[in-house]
Amino acid sequence: MKIIFDKSVQGRRGVTLPQLEPGVEAQLKIDGRYLRAQPAELPELSELDVMRHFTALSNRNFGVDSGFYPLGSCTMKYNPKICEKVAALDGFAGLHPFLPQLPQGGELTQGALEVIYELEALLCEISGMAACTLQPLAGAHGELCGMSLIAAYHRDRGNTEKKEILIPDEAHGTNPASAVGVGFATKPVPTDPVTGRLDIEALRGMINDRTAGIMLTNPNTLGIFNSEIDQVVELAHSHDALVYYDGANLNAVLGAFRPGDAGIDVMHINLHKTFATPHGCGGPGSGPVCVRENLVEYLPVSRVVKKQDNTFALDYEQPKSIGYTAPFYGSFLVYLKAYVYILSLGRQGLIEASQHAVLNANYLMNMLKSDYDLPYDRRCMHEFVLSASRQAKQGVHAMDIAKALIDRGFHPPTVYFPLIVKEAIMIEPTETESKETLDTFIQAMKEIAAVANSDPQSLNAAPVNTRISRPDEVQAARGMDFNYCPQD
Percent of the chain with pLDDT over 70: 97
**Residue-level pLDDT at 275:** 93
Beta strand pairing call for 414-415 and 424-427: antiparallel
Q: What angle do CA 364, 366, 370 make, to 5 degrees?
A: 110
Domain ranges of the chain: 28-60, 86-343, 349-475
Question: Distance of alpha carbon 42 from its chain centroid, rounded?
Answer: 33
Per 3-state DSSP, the chain is made up of helix, strand and coil in percentages (nearest 5) of: 40, 10, 50
Q: Could you give the CA distance from residue 75 to residue 252 in angstroms, rounded to a whole number? A: 10
For residues 264 and 257, the answer to whether their CB atoms sit within 8 Å is no
Q: Which amino acid is at 468?
A: I
Is 60's pLDDT higher than 90? no
Q: Could you give the CA distance from residue 284 to residue 1 in angstroms, rounded to a whole number? A: 27
Distances (CA, A) of 145 to 51, 63, 178, 180: 40, 30, 9, 12
SS (H, E, C) 427-486: ECCCCCCCHHHHHHHHHHHHHHHHHHHHCHHHHCCCCCCCCCCCCCHHHHHHCCCCCCCC
Is 482's pLDDT higher than 70? no
Tell me the mean pLDDT in the region 213-218: 95
For residues 251 and 382, the answer to whether their CB atoms sit within 8 Å is yes
Question: Distance of alpha carbon 122 from its chain centroid, rounded?
Answer: 20
Q: Where are the beta strands (DSSP E) in 307-429?
A: 312-315, 384-387, 414-415, 424-427
Q: Where are the beta strands (DSSP E) in 218-311?
A: 242-247, 266-269, 289-291, 303-306
CB burial readout 142-152, b (16+ within 10 A) else e: bbbbbbbbbbb
Query: Each residue of 441-481: pLDDT tens digit?
Result: 999 999 999 999 999 999 999 999 888 888 777 887 888 77
Q: How confident is the model at residue 327 (pLDDT cuts 50, 70, 90)?
A: confident
Is 279's pLDDT higher than 80? no
Q: How far apart are the first and last CA of the chain?
A: 19
Distances (CA, A) of 182 to 152, 178, 329, 455: 10, 7, 22, 50
Q: Mark out the alpha helices in 98-228 (DSSP H runs).
A: 107-127, 139-156, 175-182, 200-206
Tell me the mean pLDDT in the region 375-388: 96
SS (H, E, C) 117-140: HHHHHHHHHHHCCCEEECCCCCHH
Query: Each residue of 227-271: pLDDT tens digit?
Result: 999 999 999 999 999 999 999 999 999 999 999 999 999 999 999
Neighbouring CB atoms inside 10 A of 442's CB total 16
For residues 350 and 122, the answer to whether their CB atoms sit within 8 Å is no
As a whole number of angstroms, the longest Cα–Cα distance in the chain is: 81
Hey, which residues does 276 pair with through a beta bridge? none
For residues 162 and 154, the answer to whether their CB atoms sit within 8 Å is yes
* CATH architecture of residue range(s) 86-343: 3-Layer(aba) Sandwich (3.40)
Tell me the mean pLDDT in the region 359-382: 97
Number of helices (H), then strands (E), belonging to the chain: the values are: 16, 12
Task: For the full predicted model, state whether its pTM sits above 0.85.
Answer: yes
* CATH architecture of residue range(s) 349-475: Alpha-Beta Complex (3.90)
Picking from 260, 304, 370, 275, the residue whose alpha carbon sits closest to that of residue 117 is: 304
- Length of the chain in terms of residues written: 488
Whether the link from the prior residue into 284 is cis, omega within 30° of 0, is yes
Query: Each residue of 180-203: pLDDT tens digit?
Result: 999 999 999 999 999 999 999 999
For residues 242 and 194, the answer to whether their CB atoms sit within 8 Å is no
Is 484's pLDDT higher than 60? no
> Angle formed by the axes of helices 107-127 and 332-368, to 10°?
30
- More confident: 248 or 106: 248
Q: How confident is the model at residue 488 (pLDDT cuts 50, 70, 90)?
A: very low
